[in-house]
C-alpha cells in the first residue's frame, strides 16, 4: 500500500470520505468532524439541479422541519452549510447497518424481537406525524440500526410537509416503493399521509415476522391488484393477536384502517412497550435561512478544499470497513447475500486496481453502457430508457489491505430489477478477477467463481 494518503476533500470542519449512496439530486458521503473526531453522514445537494427543478422552497421546508425533529428513533440533522454550488446537510451516522440485513442474513425474526423494532418504528412515525411530517417512502433501506441496536428512521427525501397538503387535507403525489405502498397512493385520488405511512409500517412488520413480502409479483399490474384487495395470507407461526393487528393495518380502505394512536393502545403492541424518553429542545433555523437567502452573505459560504495527492484508490480504515458490514459481523462483508435489500453489492480482488477498472469497462460497454471514469470511480450509464428512466450504476474501488481491493457496485438511478439483470450479465465478464479467501488454499488467486449474488 502506498504510504501517501489519498486526496481528501474538506468542507468547513468536515473531511469527506467514501460515498454511502446517491440519487437524482443528491449523494450522501461518510465524513469526519476534524475538530471533535465525530463521524457523520453528509447529504450533498447540487444547487443548479435544485434550482432547475424549482425545488428550493420544498427543500428549505424539508430541512427546516427535519431540524425541528428530535427523536431517539429518527436520524438527527445537525447543521446545514452551503458553498457557491452545493448544499451540505450534516446528519447522524449510524453503524449498525440496515434492519433488513438481519432478515436477509438470518431469516425471519422472532415475534418479540420484531415487536420491539415495530414499537420503535411506530414511535418515530407517530412523532413525525405530530410535527406534520409524512415520510411516504418507508421501506427496508430507510430503517437503520445504531451501535446499540436502536432503530433509526432515515431519508425523509420524499417526505410530505404540511404545506404540501391541499385544502381537502389530502396529498396527491404518488411516490414510494411498490411493494410497500398503500393502495390509495397508487390510486392517485388523494390520500392521508399518516394512513399511508401506517400501511407501509404494516408491510414492514409482516416482513420482519415472515421473512418475505405480503404482496409480491414480478408483474406490476398483478402486484397492484393484490395490494388493492389486500390479498395476502399470514403464515401459521404468527400469533392470532399479531394476525389481527396486521389485518387491521393492511386494510385497503384508509377510512376503516387502524390509526397509529389505536396501534399504540393495541394489546399485542403494548407487550413490553417502553415509551420513548426525550427532551424537546430549542432549535435554531438561522443556518437554514442563511444558506437559502438569495442575497447571500459570501462570508457564510463554505469552500471545498481538496488535499491533492497522486490518484489512487481510497484507503478504507478499520472503522469504515466495519461500517460496511452487517452490524459488526465482518464475515458477511465480502459475500453479502443482499436478499430483501438489494440495491448494491461488493466483491474483493487481488488484481491491480487499473486492471479491475479496465475489466469493468470491458464488461459493461457491450451491455450498452456508457462508461465515465474519475480516478478509481466509474459511472455506468445505460443507453436505453428503462422502466424508471436510464439505469445508472456507480462503482468504486477501495484498498483494504496491501494488494487487496474491495469493489462496490451500486444502483445510482433507475429500476432495481433492471439493475439485477445488468449485474448478472456484468458478473460473467468479471469472474476471473474476483478473489475469495478459500481460493488461496486452492492456489487459485484468479478466483474463477461467480460474483456474490444480489
48-105 pLDDT tens trace: 777 776 667 777 777 777 777 788 998 888 888 888 888 888 888 888 878 887 787 7
The confidence score (pLDDT) of residue 392 equals: 86
Give, in order, the Cα–Cα distances in Å from 263 to each of 110, 137, 248, 259, 454. Answer: 20, 20, 9, 6, 35
The residue with cell 434550482 is: 51
In CATH terms, the superfamily for domain 314-441 is: Kinase associated domain 1, KA1 (3.30.310.80)
Please name the residues in contact with 213: beta carbons below 8 A apart, sequence gap of 6 or more. Answer: 179, 203, 206, 207, 340
Domain with CATH 3.30.310.80 in the chain: 314-441
Tell me the percentage of the chain whose pLDDT exceeds 70. Answer: 71
Of 117-126, 139-148, 277-286, 435-444, the poorest mean pLDDT is in 435-444
DSSP string, 426-454: HHHHHGGG---HHHHHTT-TT--SPPPP-
pLDDT-derived band at 184, boundaries 50, 70, 90: confident
Q: Which three cell numbers stand for residue 157?
A: 427525501
Tens digits of residue pLDDT in 151-162: 998 865 434 333
| Highest mean pLDDT: which range of 58-62, 108-112, 344-348, 376-380 | 108-112
| Fold classification of 8-93+280-307 (topology level) | Phosphorylase Kinase; domain 1 (3.30.200)
**What angle, 0 to 180 degrees and rounded to 10, lies between the N-to-C axes of helices 193-210 and 111-130?**
170
The confidence score (pLDDT) of residue 305 equals: 67
Domain with CATH 1.10.510.10 in the chain: 99-270
The confidence score (pLDDT) of residue 264 equals: 95
Nearest CA to 144 out of 214, 41, 69, 66 is that of 41
Taking 80 as the threshold, does the pLDDT of residue 402 lie above it? Answer: no
Residues with a catalytic annotation lie at 137
Q: Is 43 labelled as part of a ligand binding site?
A: yes
Domain formed by 99-270, architecture: Orthogonal Bundle (1.10)
The confidence score (pLDDT) of residue 450 equals: 41
Read off φ and ψ for residue 27, nearest 5 degrees.
Answer: -130, 155
Taking 60 as the threshold, does the pLDDT of residue 310 lie above it? Answer: no
pTM: 0.64
The confidence score (pLDDT) of residue 175 equals: 42
The confidence score (pLDDT) of residue 129 equals: 86
Domain with CATH 3.30.200.20 in the chain: 8-93+280-307
Amino acid at each position: 500500500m502506498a504510504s501517501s494518503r489519498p486526496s481528501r476533500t474538506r468542507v468547513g470542519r468536515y473531511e469527506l470520505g467514501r460515498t454511502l449512496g446517491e440519487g437524482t439530486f443528491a449523494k450522501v458521503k461518510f465524513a469526519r468532524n476534524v475538530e471533535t473526531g465525530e463521524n457523520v453522514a453528509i447529504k450533498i445537494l447540487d444547487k443548479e439541479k435544485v434550482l432547475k427543478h424549482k425545488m428550493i422552497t420544498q427543500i428549505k421546508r424539508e430541512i427546516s422541519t427535519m431540524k425541528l425533529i428530535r427523536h431517539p428513533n429518527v436520524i438527527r440533522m445537525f447543521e446545514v452549510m452551503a458553498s457557491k454550488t452545493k448544499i451540505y446537510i450534516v446528519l447522524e451516522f449510524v453503524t449498525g447497518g440496515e434492519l433488513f440485513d438481519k432478515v436477509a442474513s438470518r431469516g425471519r425474526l422472532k415475534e418479540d424481537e420484531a415487536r420491539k423494532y415495530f414499537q420503535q418504528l411506530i414511535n418515530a412515525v407517530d412523532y413525525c406525524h405530530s410535527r406534520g411530517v409524512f415520510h411516504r417512502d418507508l421501506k427496508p433501506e430507510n430503517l437503520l440500526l445504531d451501535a446499540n441496536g436502536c432503530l433509526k428512521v432515515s431519508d425523509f427525501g420524499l417526505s410530505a410537509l404540511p404545506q404540501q397538503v391541499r385544502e381537502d387535507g389530502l396529498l396527491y403525489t404518488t411516490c414510494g416503493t411498490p411493494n410497500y405502498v398503500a393502495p390509495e397512493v397508487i390510486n392517485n385520488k388523494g390520500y392521508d399521509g399518516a394512513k399511508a405511512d401506517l400501511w407501509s409500517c404494516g408491510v414492514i412488520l409482516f416482513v420482519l415476522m415472515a421473512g418475505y413480502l405480503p404482496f409480491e409479483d414480478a408483474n406490476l399490474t398483478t402486484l397492484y391488484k393484490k395490494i388493492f384487495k389486500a390479498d395476502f395470507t399470514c403464515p401459521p407461526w404468527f400469533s392470532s393477536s399479531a394476525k389481527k393487528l396486521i389485518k387491521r393495518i393492511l386494510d385497503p380502505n384508509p377510512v376503516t384502517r387502524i390509526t397509529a394512536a389505536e396501534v399504540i393502545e393495541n394489546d399485542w403492541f403494548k407487550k413490553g412497550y417502553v415509551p420513548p424518553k426525550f427532551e424537546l429542545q430549542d432549535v435554531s433555523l438561522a443556518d437554514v435561512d442563511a444558506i437559502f437567502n438569495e442575497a447571500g452573505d459570501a462570508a457564510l459560504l463554505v469552500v471545498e478544499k481538496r488535499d491533492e495527492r497522486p490518484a489512487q484508490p481510497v484507503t478504507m480504515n478499520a472503522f469504515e470497513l466495519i461500517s460496511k458490514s452487517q452490524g459488526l459481523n465482518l464475515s458477511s462483508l465480502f459475500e453479502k447475500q443482499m436478499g430483501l435489500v438489494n440495491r448494491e453489492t461488493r466483491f474483493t480482488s487481488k488484481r491491480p486496481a487499473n486492471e479491475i477498472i479496465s475489466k469493468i469497462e470491458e464488461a459493461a460497454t457491450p451491455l450498452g453502457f456508457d462508461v465515465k471514469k474519475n480516478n478509481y470511480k466509474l459511472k455506468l450509464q445505460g443507453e436505453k430508457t428503462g422502466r424508471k428512466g436510464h439505469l445508472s450504476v456507480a462503482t468504486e474501488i477501495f484498498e483494504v489491505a496491501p494488494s487487496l481491493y474491495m469493489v462496490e457496485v451500486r444502483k445510482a438511478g433507475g429500476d432495481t430489477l433492471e439493475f439485477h439483470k445488468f449485474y448478472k450479465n456484468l458478473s460473467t465478464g468479471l469472474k476471473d478477477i474476483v478473489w475469495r479467501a478459500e481460493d488461496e488454499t486452492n492456489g487459485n488467486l484468479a478466483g474463477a467463481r461467480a460474483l456474490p449474488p444480489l
